[in-house]
Amino acid sequence: MILFQIFFSLFIVFVLIKTISRFRSKEINVGWLSFWLIFWLVAEIVVIFPNLSVEFAHLVGIGRGTDLVIYLSLTLLFFFFFHLLTKVEQQKKEITKLTRKISLMEAKIENCKIKN
């Protein structure tokens, strides 16, 4: 357990540095920065103080802390995946709209050229 806590903590430090640098180079906004900071800090706390997850799990009626972590993680993951899917479909439709407009415009230009 201790070895994992060390490796994980190093990983968290690395991730936090990356996240902050991404924010500085304007790749992500304040909203996402806050989200990921909180997310990774909570993860770090759960790993450093594993008993916390056990207590929390008992609070909501689940046997093991690990189980609770897994349930929550899976739920979050599925939600985000579905959200992403929706966004991708939306983007596909938007790209098609643009592609169509370009093709119609190009045809107009060509036909104008032919007329003149």
Binding-site ranges for another protein (CB under 8 A):
85-86, 89, 92-93, 95-96, 99-100, 102-104, 106-107
* Secondary structure string (H, E, C) spanning the chain: CHHHHHHHHHHHHHHHHHHHHHHHCCCCCHHHHHHHHHHHHHHHHHHHCHHHHHHHHHHHCCCCHHHHHHHHHHHHHHHHHHHHHHHHHHHHHHHHHHHHHHHHHHHHHHHHHHHC
Which residue, 48 or 77, has its beta carbon nearer to another protein? Answer: 77
Which residue, 9 or 86, has its beta carbon nearer to another protein? Answer: 86
Which residue, 67 or 110, has its beta carbon nearer to another protein? Answer: 110
Least distance (Å) between residue 97 CB and another protein: 9
Least distance (Å) between residue 98 CB and another protein: 8
